[in-house]
Each structure stands twice: as C-alpha cells, then as structure tokens.
Structure 1
Amino acid sequence: MRGYLAGVAAFGAAMALAPAANAGVDEVHVGVMAHNICVTNCKNADKEDGPNVEFQVSFDSPSFLNWAGSPQPYILASVNVAGETSFGGVGLEWRWDFAEGWALEPGIGYVIHNGEVDNPFANGTPEAAAFFEEHVLFGSEDLFRTSLGLTRDFEGPLEAQVFFSHLSHGQILGSGRNQGVDQLGVRIGYQFGG
C-alpha cells in the first residue's frame, strides 16, 4: 500500500510540476512499458501482467552535480494497468549525445512499490508453491531502478525513446529474496525550451 500511495503522490507531484518550465523543469516523458519481461531477469519473467504507464519529470541539473557529469534529477510514477506492481521514485539520468539527433540516457534511482515482498505462506506448502509461481517476491519495499534510454530528438521540443529499466534491491536495500523486474517500452518526451 505504501508503494501505491507513493506512486500516486509522485504522479500528482509530477503533474503539478510539469507546466512550471520556468521552475527548473527541463523535460517530461510519458510512456508505455512492457512489464516483467525477460531481459536481465528471466527466471521471474511473466509472473506479472502489464503494461505499466509511466510519467517522468526531469529537472535541470544543479551546479553541485557538475562533478558527476551533470545528471538530471527526475521524479517518476509507473502505474501497472493490470493491478500488478506499480512504483514511484526519484533518481538521476545522464545524457550522452553520440550522433546528430541521437543520445544514450543511462540512469539510476530509488523507488518504492506496492508489489509482493515475501511469501505469506509457510515454506514447503502447496500454497507457498502456488504463490511463488504467480508473484515476484521483491524482498524489500525499497528498490533500486537502473535504466537506459536510446533517444531520438526531432525538430522542435519532441523526442522519442526506446527505454529499459530494471528494479531490484541488489541485496543492499533488503535481505533474502531479490527477485527483480525488467521493463521495456517507448516514451515520448517534451523538452521545455527545446
């Protein structure tokens, strides 16, 4: 429940901040992501349905992050339309232009979610086995989000991305189960002042 409320709060904050281009908002992304697919974490793929609809607001890089390559802070909400794992969070994204109109955008962030953390049934029971077959067990309500976008800039303020993200606690934010989720999809971006 905490993750769901955080996702709703992040979405509401993002919606409120999006029009405020003069307040440091650099760009807004909206996308549709295939949820829980086999990219880096195939053992748990397809346990959850999807897709997830994502909304992200990215801010101008503050000067105190110049030493780190001037990443852009972001806030995001990702809502699963099938009622599976939704999440909201914050993070940093870098942008590396590698050709005219093309860029790679790697990122790292922190999210909280409303998915399953542990199996509520006793180990070895048929109920536990059935629950395990149908649910991703994240092991922590707090997760890291790593991401990579391939961005194509268009004339004017619009851009399009093929976007990948992975959620996991990496045995750092939690203990025990460390089943993660991969997402892959497309996002459309609007660049303020672009």
Structure 2
Amino acid sequence: MRLRITALLAATLAFGLPATAHADEVYGGVYAHGVDTPFTFDTGEGGADLQVGYRFDPIAGLESLGGPQPYVFGSVNSGGDTNFAGVGVSWKAEIGKLYLRPGVGLVIHDAPDLRVDPATGMRTDLGSRVLFEPELAIGVDLDPRWSLEASWVHISNARLFNSEQNPGIDMMGLRLNYRM
C-alpha cells in the first residue's frame, strides 16, 4: 500500500505540474494526525504526518479572484494510518509580515475501504477514495525567502460521495516554506 501511495504522489507531481511553470514555494511540515475537532468523528487514527508540497506562482489572469496559487502535496503518516496526496489552490492575504492562507483541494488516500469501530458499530472509514481537502494557515514571513505557518488540514467526502459516511480526519501542525 505504501508503494501505491508513493507512486500516486509521483504521478500527481509529474502530471500536475505545468511544463513551463517554476516553483514559487516548497514547503514541509509536521502534523498531529487525527485531531478531534467538531468537523470529525474519532477514526481511531493517530501518529504524526510528514507533509511536503510545492506551490506555484499565482494563476495568471485570476488576480481579480485574489491570485490563487495552485499546489501539489503529499502526506505520510508515521503510525501506518492514512496517507494522502493531492492538488488544490490557496490564497495568501497579507497584513504586514503576518498572513492568512485559506485553501481547498482534492486528495486521494490509502485508508481502508471499510472500517468499523468494534465498540460502537459505527463506520469510521472515509467513505470515498477521493476526498475534499479544505485547509487554513496563519503564517509569518521570517525574511524575504522563509515563512512559518500554523496549519489545519481536513480531509473528508463532505457526504457528497457517500451520504451515509463522513468521519473525516483533521491534522494540525507547523510547516516551513521556502520561496524560490
């Protein structure tokens, strides 16, 4: 399964990148996996996630929409739980050295197709192989090239792909960004 997610991440990176684009930022972070929030049910997952990603320059011609930046990323769980890879867009709203970065994307993951909590009988699988990935970060520019973000990432099917199932998983952590 790990080989499958690695191959999926490589394919996402290879086919998701425009040939003429150059990286605006590379980033990496460490996240607590399976954080209990009002958006999720307990899936029984835990551990830490290592996340790496690549943000492109803002999309030309979409300045009127705030200049969204496309991104690709992958997340590997240290405890053998859900790994995922995805693509999306994010916006950076700056206030001096501080900024807010909301984003939304789609991910593909390697969690079990069916998982049931034996204590409650409740399904804790994610309900779909493809999930939505909203995220929100609060960051600070450390210098012209480096920035640090406190970040929340959520993956879930939003009950669109499976109306009976949607525990979702939340991750919270820190990521370091380097502008190219």
TM-score, normalising length: structure 2: 0.86
Give aligned pairs, total. Answer: 177
SS at match of 1:23: coil
Q: Counterpart amino acid of 2:80?
A: G
- What residue in structure 1 maps to residue 105 of structure 2? 109
5+ long unaligned stretches in structure 1 = 120-127
- What residue in structure 2 maps to residue 148 of structure 1? 136
5+ long unaligned stretches in structure 2 = none
Taking the aligned partners of 1:190 and 1:4, their CA distance within structure 2 comes to 28
Q: Which residue among 10, 23, 26 is the counterpart of 2:24?
A: 26
CA 1:42–1:73: 2 relative to 1, 3 Å: closer
1:5 Cα offset (Å): 2.6
Q: Which residue among 59, 62, 65 is the counterpart of 1:62?
A: 59
- What residue in structure 1 maps to residue 4 of structure 2? 5
Give the fraction of aligned pairs with identical amino acids, expressed as a percent. Answer: 29
1:69 Cα offset (Å): 1.8
- What residue in structure 1 maps to residue 48 of structure 2? 51
- What residue in structure 2 maps to residue 94 of structure 1? 91
- What residue in structure 2 maps to residue 122 of structure 1? none
Higher share in helix: 1
SS at match of 2:128: coil
TM-score, normalising length: structure 1: 0.80
- What residue in structure 2 maps to residue 41 of structure 1? 39
Q: Counterpart amino acid of 2:41?
A: K
Considering only aligned residues, what root-mean-square deviation do their CA atoms show, in Å?
2.8
Residues 1:170 and 2:169 aligned together: no
- Deviating 4+ runs (over 4 angstroms): 11-15, 131-135
- Decide which moves more: 57-66 or 70-79: 57-66
Bigger radius of gyration among the two: 1
Q: Counterpart amino acid of 2:103?
A: G
CA 1:112–1:81: 2 relative to 1, 3 Å: same
Taking the aligned partners of 2:118 and 2:4, their CA distance within structure 1 comes to 28
**In the alignment, is the contact (CA less than 8 A) between 2:12 and 2:85 conserved in 1?**
no
- What residue in structure 2 maps to residue 125 of structure 1? none
